[in-house]
Amino acid sequence: MALWGGLGQAATVAQLVGADIGGLIAMIMQAAMTAQQNKKECEQLARRVFTIAELLQHLQDPEVLRRPEIRRPLTGLDDTLQEAHELVLSCQDKSAVYRLVMAGRQADKFRDVQSRIDSYLLLFPVISHMDITRRLDRIYNILLPNDMAGPSMSPVSMPQIPVPASQDATKIYWKEPHGLQKFNFKELAKASNNFAPDRKIGEGGSGSVYMGCLPDGRVVAIKRRGVNSPQGMEPFKAEIAILSAIRYKHIVPLYGYCVLIEEKRKRHLLRPSRKVKKEKEHLLVYEYMENGSLYHHLHGPTTSSSSSPVMASWKTRVEILLGVSRAIEYLQSCGEQPIIHRDIKTSNILLDGNWVPRLTDFGLAITWEGPGHEEAVSGTYGYVAPEYAMTGILNSSVDIYGFGVVMLEVLTTKRPYFSKEREEEKTEECEQEGKNTEEDKEESEREEEEKKIQELHEWQKRDVFGRHNLVSIALPLIEAGEVWKVLDRRPAAEPTARQLEAAELVAQTAARCLRLRWEERPAISEVVANLEKALELVRCDG
């Protein structure tokens, strides 16, 4: 089976339904990238198929998948994917006469296949519901975005693709770091009040983060992780190797590190016991970023983000995007080999006291060795470039794709996968406050009925957990010149002409960054130049 990178769980599904689902998805994606005709329709179809690929990995319970009521509906998925593959293949180079004769028929086929794929997506909430009693906490902590889950939810914005601990993924070779302070555990424990719960400022796949104050007065963020974490020591080594060698205004500075050694006595029957040293924890010490993450300001509670300049100013938002793009540009040009971050997302963009953006979390970063460089797929679902997810082969635009998703988030304040109900819940509550009369009540009931009907149609755009895919929804509107339909209105209820022009420029740049074919994505220098132009447009509007 031609399964790709992070699609390991699809093997389970394929074995149960007797279909090479992973292989079909890979072939559809490849054919869509090389289509010569109906390119827009092929890309839209491929993005829906890619959504299936990402979400198949969440069906992890073999007992649930073996149930007849689950297997029967899935048995036709391979047929639908096979038709999708044949349809996209038919869009390769054809004569003008063929295109004229087949245009109408192909349009009908695209609509039919798209509808059938969407119907399969409707099955997954049922499967998820049957699975939910077995692993409720796991769904809350891994699959759902930050504030869409219950109390046990991790602050990571999207589920992260696991990296096997045994792989040599970093391609960054360990050596004793220079220019970094080596802290001892006791002073870091004292600085963070013994890692008190009220000092915890973050938690995710890379460990827990605490705020601390060093004896010299420096306020720091201390990342603490155990050596037995699924990713092993590789992220720790990667961060030290990269951040000890670079200093840049848009990258969070690393002050130092600590390796906690635990000594145990090993007993022997025939000879005296001896002490054995064993690494227990790894800690990294960064400069503290006073204003938290971009994710928090875009998606956090309304009460805490309403006064944020991120929410109030297009100028601030574009400045943040520009700073991050310059950080990516710096990484690609600062050494003999480009550095690829591999996890560009809003939760990895921090803001200092002056609202200057700083890129952080280099645990997955690697140096790119050039064309053909292959790695086990890692990153965060929703941000990973499709061709890298398919093949594991890296290219210089992997970070550009992730940054394209970030640009859409900043324009829309929607997550890569989002729940329309939760996003609009607060607005609806405010609108209902003044409805007290019988007439208002009847109007409210009518609106509720209309809403239910609309929700049925909206299912066609949702993923398997009832969430909307931002890229699939936003790109068609951007390409149609209707960016204003997805634009967040909180910075300006009635955007000025210059603000709309700037938003259009950012949106079109994001759309190019999100091209399925990585060769068609812009160079990071071009992205920087476009964001500089956008900043000039909004600078006068504040």
Give 271-338 as a DSSP string: S--EEEEEEEEEEEEEE--TT-BHHHHHHS-HHHHTT-HHHH-HHHHHHHHHHHHHHHHHHHHSSSS-
Taking the C-alpha atoms of residue 450 and residue 429, their distance in angstroms, rounded to an integer, is 17
User: How far is residue 378's CA from residue 161's CA, in Å, rounded to a whole number?
Assistant: 5
Distance of alpha carbon 537 from alpha carbon 319, whole angstroms = 12
**443 belongs to a structural domain:** no
* Domain-located, residue 148: no
Predicted pLDDT of residue 83: 82
Residue 146 domain-assigned? no
**Do 477 and 361 sit in the same domain of this protein?**
yes
Residue 90 and residue 39 share a domain? yes
For the stretch 243-264, what's the b/e string if a residue is b when 16 or more beta carbons lie within 10 angstroms of its beta carbon? bbeeebebbbebbbbbbbeeee
Based on the fold, state whether residues 231 and 302 are members of the same structural domain: no
179 CB neighbour count, 10 Å cutoff = 10
Residue at 460 is within a domain:
no
Which residues partner with 208 through β-bridges? 203, 224
Residues ≥6 apart with Cβ < 8 Å to 132: 139
Distances (CA, A) of 496 to 189, 299, 342, 365, 409: 51, 24, 36, 40, 20
> Are 61 and 100 members of one domain?
yes
The Cα–Cα gap between 264 and 188 comes to: 22
The per-residue pLDDT for 150 is 32
Do both 357 and 474 map to the same domain? yes
Same domain for 112 and 171, yes or no, is no
Beta-sheet pairing, 366-367 with 339-340: antiparallel
Residue 347's contacts (CB-CB under 8 Å, 6 or more residues apart) are 146, 155, 156, 157, 204, 293, 294, 295
Please tell me the predicted confidence (pLDDT) of residue 77.
74
SS3 9: helix
**Which of 258, 288, 318 marks a domain boundary?**
288
Quote the number of domains for the chain: 3
What number of CA atoms fall less than 13 Å from residue 529's CA on the CB side?
5
SS3 state at 412: helix
Phi, psi of 468 (to 5 degrees): -90, 140
Residue 155 lies in a domain: no
Domain membership of residue 249 (yes or no) is: yes
| DSSP reduced 3-state for 419 | coil
Rounded Cα distance, 541 and 526, in Å = 24
Q: Contact, 417 vs 408, CB < 8 A?
A: no
Q: Domain boundary residue among 288, 306, 326?
A: 288
- 302 and 384 share a domain? yes
Residues 398 and 528 in one domain: yes
Same domain, 389 and 502: yes
Q: Are 321 and 359 in contact (CB under 8 A)?
A: no
Q: Verify that 480 and 369 share a domain, yes or no.
A: yes
Distance between CA 135 and CA 289 in Å, rounded? Answer: 35
**Together in a domain, 497 and 540:** yes
Q: Does any domain span residue 448?
A: no
Instruction: Answer with the one of 115, 134, 153 that is the final residue of a domain.
Output: 134
In this structure, what CATH number is given to the domain that contains residue 258?
3.30.200.20
Report CA dihedral (106, 112, 114, 116) to the nearest 10 degrees: -150
C-beta separation of 385 from 401 below 8 A: yes
The values of phi and psi at residue 218, to 5°, are -70, 130
Q: What is the pTM of this model?
A: 0.71
Measured in Å, how far apart are the chain's first and last C-alpha atoms?
Answer: 55
In a domain? residue 43: yes
User: Which ranges of 374-496 would DSSP assign to H, the alpha helix?
Assistant: 386-391, 398-412, 420-432, 438-458, 470-479
- The pLDDT profile of the chain, 542 residues, written as one tens digit per residue, is 233 344 444 444 555 455 566 677 778 887 887 777 778 788 888 877 887 776 666 555 555 556 665 566 566 677 788 888 888 888 876 665 555 555 567 777 887 787 777 666 655 554 554 444 444 444 334 334 443 333 332 333 345 655 444 444 444 444 556 678 999 999 999 999 999 999 999 886 667 899 999 999 999 999 988 666 656 677 888 889 889 888 899 999 999 999 887 666 555 555 665 655 566 788 999 999 999 999 999 988 754 455 789 999 999 999 999 999 999 999 999 878 899 999 999 999 999 999 999 999 998 999 988 888 888 888 888 898 988 887 888 998 999 999 999 999 999 999 988 765 555 443 343 334 334 445 555 666 666 655 544 543 443 344 444 457 888 889 989 989 999 999 999 998 888 999 999 999 999 999 999 998 899 999 999 999 999 999 999 987 65
- Across-strand partners of 433? none
Q: Which domain holds residue 79?
A: 8-134
- Annotated binding-site residue? 223: yes
Residue 220 contacts residue 191 (beta carbons within 8 Å): yes
Both 365 and 503 in one domain: the answer is yes
Buried b / exposed e across 375-391, counting CB within 10 Å, b at 16+? Answer: bebbbbbbbbbbbbbbb
343 is catalytic: yes
Token digits of residue 147? 């504030």
Please report the DSSP string for 491-519 in residue order.
S-SS--HHHHHHHHHHHHHHHHHT-SSGG
- From residue 328, give the alpha-carbon distance in Å to each of 257, 393, 528: 24, 19, 10
Which listed residue (79, 108, 147, 343) is catalytic? 343
265: three-class secondary structure by DSSP: strand
